[in-house]
């Protein structure tokens, strides 16, 4: 997308492909990155329930993990986890 | 044959909106524009106009409804004035950037404070940069005609831009004049149905008004700017075709007795008819005076203006708007910029008058010509001068 010129713009900047927001990476807004100790997780789903961005994925075995493509690093999951097995650490420059 | 009847300026506009088979009108009443939307509401209620009339709670909502309706490809009209136009301000940018061909009449009125319902151009000058095509009508006939032209130009696939039609509050909106009411058959010949290329429709979902991060915003603005500049061709074609169908000719700038004129008055809107009386008087006295009237304000007609003033010594610009702390009235400032690079150019004198409904008489215009020549000869420290102020 970053190499689009002004001549490529649709009239009124209309986006003709539905659902294109899915391809927008909001993960790079993150300044704090979540991580978790999976052994301590009781699969209660509180992180999944509280995440405002639906960036917690429930895997087939019932375990919850982070979708770092969308996760903005707000830290609500870490705050709400009853087992305190999620922690936030500052992102490092890549 | 078109019928000539006595018609108030406001009604000349609403009759044209009816002739245009407008689909949606969303508006909030505000003086001196009220008669336009009031009569449209009546036409819809009486079944004379098959349109959706959306009464809203504010002008901000009026313009927002217009965005939605125009996005579906519906022919959309609204009208406002003064504070109402300022309340719409942020939505006006959205309409032009999204390339929605809404047509809006503005019955120009002063801005508070002090509270004034009377006419001047303060309201429209605050929305110069919103990316709408903007024209000023001189009389009721022109207002009637320009509505049809506005839909024709705005909806043209090569333009797709909103159009603002300015009429002077009261001096034009509330004055009854003889108007040739256009025939439906002629209008249908001139104005095709709206064919917006990418309308909102469930069968073909699109996203309108998506956000533009830094990597694309500049490109989006460039695309809009190029489209706006190109609209000049559509505008001229629209006036050519109008003349072919209706026999009346319109142009970006109108000239009156300018051929050998050494001093030119420049006005916009209905005051030009008054100014022309002053020009006649001064011509009788042997003075070489002429008159220019800007009809097309955006896109600004640079070429036509430069040509019109090429042999003039003094150009006296009357602004009905004060740009406090600025380089002159808004119109005069733009004209100075437009002429700056010209090898041969007139001295541009910026005078401010006709504020908040203050009458400007032919005598006032004669004073302006004399004062303009005086300033041009002797010079002045001030960038502009307010006229008709009691000391």
pLDDT at B111: 98
Interchain CB distance below 8 Å, B198 and A1: no
Interchain CB distance below 8 Å, B160 and A12: yes
pLDDT digits (tens, 9 = 90+) for B173-187: 999 999 999 999 999
Give the domain range for residue B327: 253-386
What 3-state class would DSSP assign to B77?
Answer: strand
The parts of chain B modelled with pLDDT lower than 50 are: none
Based on the fold, state whether residues B341 and B192 are members of the same structural domain.
no
Quote the CA–CA distance of B3 and B237 in Å, as a whole number: 26
Residue B212 lies in a domain: yes
Domain boundary among B215, B246, B277: B246
Domain boundary among B225, B246, B267: B246
Q: Are A34 and A88 in contact (CB under 8 A)?
A: yes
Contacts of A6 in chain B (CB under 8 A): 218-220, 222-223, 226
pLDDT at B263: 98
CATH number for the domain including B78? Answer: 3.40.50.970
Based on the fold, state whether residues B163 and B279 are members of the same structural domain.
no
Q: Enumerate residues 11 to 30 of chain A having a beta carbon within 8 A of any beta carbon in chain B.
A: 11-16, 18, 20
Question: Between the CA of residue B343 and those of B305, B306, B338, what are the distances in Å?
Answer: 14, 11, 12
Q: Enumerate residues 31 to 90 of chain A having a beta carbon within 8 A of any beta carbon in chain B.
A: none
CATH number for the domain including B268? Answer: 3.40.50.920
Interchain CB distance below 8 Å, A11 and B99: yes
CATH number for the domain including A79? Answer: 3.30.70.20
Q: Are B321 and B354 in contact (CB under 8 A)?
A: no
pLDDT at A24: 86
Q: Which two tokens stand for residue B142?
A: 């022109």
> In angstroms, what separates the C-alpha of A27 from chain B's closest C-alpha?
15
pLDDT at A23: 86
Inter-chain contacts counted by CB atoms under 8 A, chains A and B = 50
Domain count of the fold of chain A: 1
Q: Answer whether A3 touches B (CB < 8 Å).
A: no
Domain count of the fold of chain B: 2
Q: Which of B207, B215, B218 sits opposite A15 (nearest CB)?
A: B207
Residue B153 lies in a domain: yes
Q: Which of B198, B210, B222 sits opposite A11 (nearest CB)?
A: B198
Domain boundary among B246, B262, B281: B246
B→A interface, C-beta within 8 Å: 97-100, 160, 197-198, 205-208, 210, 212, 215-216, 218-220, 222-223, 226
Q: Are B231 and A39 in contact (CB under 8 A)?
A: no
Based on the fold, state whether residues B284 and B375 are members of the same structural domain.
yes
Give the domain range for residue A43: 25-90
pLDDT at B45: 98
CB-CB neighbours of B359 under 10 Å = 12
pLDDT at B101: 98
pLDDT at A94: 56
Which chain A residue is nearest to residue B213, measuring alpha carbons? A2
The parts of chain A modelled with pLDDT lower than 70 are: 1, 93-94
Which chain A residue is nearest to residue B160, measuring alpha carbons? A11
Quote the CA–CA distance of A63 and B200 in Å, as a whole number: 41
């Amino acid at each position: 997308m970053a190499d689009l010129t002004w001549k490529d713009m649709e009239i009124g900047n209309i986006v003709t492909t539905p659902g294109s927001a899915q391809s927008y990476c909001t993960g790079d807004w993150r300044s704090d990155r979540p991580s978790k100790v999976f052994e301590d997780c009781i699969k209660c789903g509180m992180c999944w329930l509280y995440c405002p961005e639906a960036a917690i994925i429930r895997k087939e075995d019932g375990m919850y993990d982070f979708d770092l493509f969308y996760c903005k690093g707000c830290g609500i999951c870490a705050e709400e986890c009853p087992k305190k097995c999620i922690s936030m650490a500052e992102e490092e420059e890549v | 044959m078109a019928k000539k009847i006595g018609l108030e300026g406001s009604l000349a506009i609403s009759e044209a909106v009816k002739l245009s088979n407008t689909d949606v009108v969303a508006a909030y009443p505000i003086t001196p524009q009220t008669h336009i939307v009031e009569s449209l509401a009546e036409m819809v209620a009486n079944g004379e106009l098959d349109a959706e009339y959306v009464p809203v709670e504010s002008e901000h909502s009026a313009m927002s409804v217009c965005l939605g309706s125009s996005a579906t490809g519906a022919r959309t009209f609204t009208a406002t004035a003064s504070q109402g136009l300022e309340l719409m301000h942020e939505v006006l940018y959205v309409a032009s950037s999204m390339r929605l061909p809404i047509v809006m009449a503005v019955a120009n009125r002063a801005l508070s404070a002090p509270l004034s319902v009377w006419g001047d151009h303060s309201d429209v000058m605050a929305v110069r940069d919103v990316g709408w095509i903007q024209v000023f009508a001189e009389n009721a006939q022109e207002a009637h005609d320009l509505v049809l032209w506005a839909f024709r130009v705005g909806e043209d696939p090569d333009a797709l831009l909103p159009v603002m039609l300015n009429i002077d509050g009261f001096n034009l909106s509330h004055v009854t004049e003889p108007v040739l009411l256009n025939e439906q058959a002629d209008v249908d010949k001139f104005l095709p149905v709206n064919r917006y290329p990418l309308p909102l429709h469930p069968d073909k979902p699109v996203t309108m008004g998506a956000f533009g991060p830094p990597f694309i915003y500049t490109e989006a603005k460039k695309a809009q700017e190029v489209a706006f500049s190109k609209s000049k061709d559509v505008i001229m074609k629209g006036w050519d075709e109008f003349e072919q169908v209706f026999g009346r000719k319109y142009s970006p700038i109108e000239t009156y007795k300018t051929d050998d004129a050494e001093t030119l008055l420049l006005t916009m809107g209905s005051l030009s008819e008054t100014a022309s009386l002053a020009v006649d008087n001064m011509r009788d006295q042997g003075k070489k005076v002429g008159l220019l009237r800007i009809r097309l304000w955006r896109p600004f007609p640079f070429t036509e203006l430069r040509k019109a003033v090429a042999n003039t010594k003094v150009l006296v610009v009357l602004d009905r708007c004060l740009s406090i702390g600025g380089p002159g009235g808004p119109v005069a400032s733009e004209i100075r910029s437009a002429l700056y690079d010209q090898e041969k150019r007139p001295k541009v004198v910026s005078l401010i008058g006709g504020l908040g409904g203050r009458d400007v008489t032919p005598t006032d215009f004669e004073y302006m010509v004399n004062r303009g020549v005086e300033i041009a000869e002797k010079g002045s420290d001030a960038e502009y001068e307010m006229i008709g102020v009691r000391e």
